[in-house]
Amino acid sequence: MKLHEYQSKRIFSQYGIPIPKGEVAATPQEAEAIAEKLGSRVVIKSQVLVGGRGKAGGIKLAKDPQEAEKLASQILGMQIKGLPVRKVLVDEAADIHSEIYLGITNDRAAHKPVMMASSAGGVEIEEVARQTPEKIIKTHIDPFLGLRDYQARDIALGIGLPAEHWQTFTKIAQGLWKAYENSDATLAEINPLVVTGDNQLLAVDGKMLIDDNSLFRHADLEAMRDLDEEAESETKAREHGLSFIKLDGNIGCMVNGAGLAMATMDILKLFGGAPANFLDIGGGASAEKVAVALRLILTDTNVKAVLFNIFGGITRCDEVARGILTALAEVKPKVPMVIRLVGTNAEEGRKLLADAKMITADTLAEAAQKAVAAAKGGQK
Ligand code: GDP
Ligand code: MN
């Protein structure tokens, strides 16, 4: 789950990281009132769950409350990378002397979190990694020890931060680690962390990604989820306990089991097709769940064919077949559907589906080829 900038910065602030004063507004009038209250130059920042808002024109400086109102009304009407801006953060403007990147993420290869920093802040870190990788300083964090003082100092030295800032920088780096650890984050990032004109460190931007699998123990973070920003299909899927990720292809995939779903997507690609989604309907898929899943797949107008790849293990094929029949009766899809059904009670399952006008296949390769052909409007 992605958090907005204002949410991430509020969390950072709870861990002692200095952030600008500011509040969130949903209307230009609110933005004006906040600017009035702050009584300084402000920065109006679109709150959308994508990076690069600055470049897209979603971040603007205002010298007084009237200008804040005007700019807020412009930004609130914008779409940034396809996402409508519904809220803006009105922050006291920072007088920026220099910009630093500071972030923590998981290094899967090292089996440890890694802190990264760079003097080339403000720019996306992927860009820095491509162009000037030597400018990124990294240190792995032992989760049992946390981020040690000497590690923070090493980073400060590595990015050429003047020694007068090391103590504050250490506090910020350790605060970021604590925020990351306690929130079960997979990313905590300050970009930029700035040195201001009056020589203070300040976290001007903030970004956090929270591990969805940990949300059951973070009711406070779960409550921050912004449903407006999520593809509606993904919200629906979550409500029904389905793992669903929308993709750009035209073959809908209905599969039980995450590994099988991955394999299905791979083999579609192998035969020249493109999956429209990742979907794991899970074990014990009831008729209701199958119907919800089928509806999700079919709301995507790109979908030209659906591939069912069901492996009956603990979940019996006849049960899934009944689910599919119920779902078909309800949803009445107009696109061709290919099914491969194997495993426990596959024979019973196939009999149940015999009248359902589905294209059947015995092997995964055959099913994938038939789905690719069907999506192209070709043979059955
Ligand atoms: P992003 O583009 O989505 O990463 O949004 P950021 O919050 O990082 O803002 C982008 C850039 O706008 C920063 O790197 C700064 O250069 C600039 N910026 C953001 N806030 C301020 C501010 O308060 N004062 C000034 N002068 N520039 C700012
Ligand atoms: Mn940024």
53 lines ligand 1 (CB under 6 A): yes
Q: What is the pLDDT of residue 97?
A: 97
Is the pLDDT at 313 greater than 80? The verdict is yes
Confidence of residue 98 (pLDDT cuts 50, 70, 90): very high
Is the pLDDT at 379 greater than 70? The verdict is no
Q: Which-ligand-closest: CA of 91? A: 1
The predicted model gives 147-159 an average pLDDT of 98
Ligand 1 geometric centre to CA of 136 (Å): 20
Among this protein's residues, is 101 annotated catalytic? yes
User: What are 194's strand-pairing partners?
Assistant: 99, 202
Ligand 1 geometric centre to CA of 114 (Å): 24
How confident is the model over 332-360, as pLDDT tens digits?
889 999 999 999 999 999 999 888 889 99
Q: Give the active site residue among 189, 232, 239, 330.
A: 189
How confident is the model over 233-279, as pLDDT tens digits?
888 888 888 889 889 999 999 998 899 999 999 999 999 999 999 99
Is the pLDDT at 315 greater than 80? The verdict is no
Q: What is the pLDDT of residue 285?
A: 66
Confidence of residue 288 (pLDDT cuts 50, 70, 90): confident
Bond into 192 cis (ω within 30)? yes
User: What are 253's strand-pairing partners?
Assistant: 307
Is the pLDDT at 88 greater than 50? The verdict is yes
Range scoring the smallest mean pLDDT among 2-11, 318-327, 361-370 = 318-327
Q: What is the pLDDT of residue 380?
A: 44
Nearest CA to ligand 1 atom 4: 52
In angstroms, the Cα distances linking 119 to 106, 150, 156, 164, 211 are 21, 19, 9, 16, 28
- Round the average pLDDT of the chain to a whole number and report it: 93
CB 141 within 8 A of CB 112: yes
Q: Which-ligand-closest: CA of 44? A: 1
Confidence (pTM): 0.80
How confident is the model over 112-127, as pLDDT tens digits?
999 999 999 988 889 9
Is the pLDDT at 328 greater than 80? The verdict is yes
Distance CA 59, CA 208 (A): 19
User: What are 203's strand-pairing partners?
Assistant: 193
Q: What is the pLDDT of residue 282?
A: 80
How confident is the model over 7-53, as pLDDT tens digits?
999 999 999 999 999 999 999 999 999 999 999 999 999 999 988 99
Distance CA 71, CA 32 (A): 10
Q: What is the pLDDT of residue 378?
A: 60
Ligand 1 geometric centre to CA of 205 (Å): 7
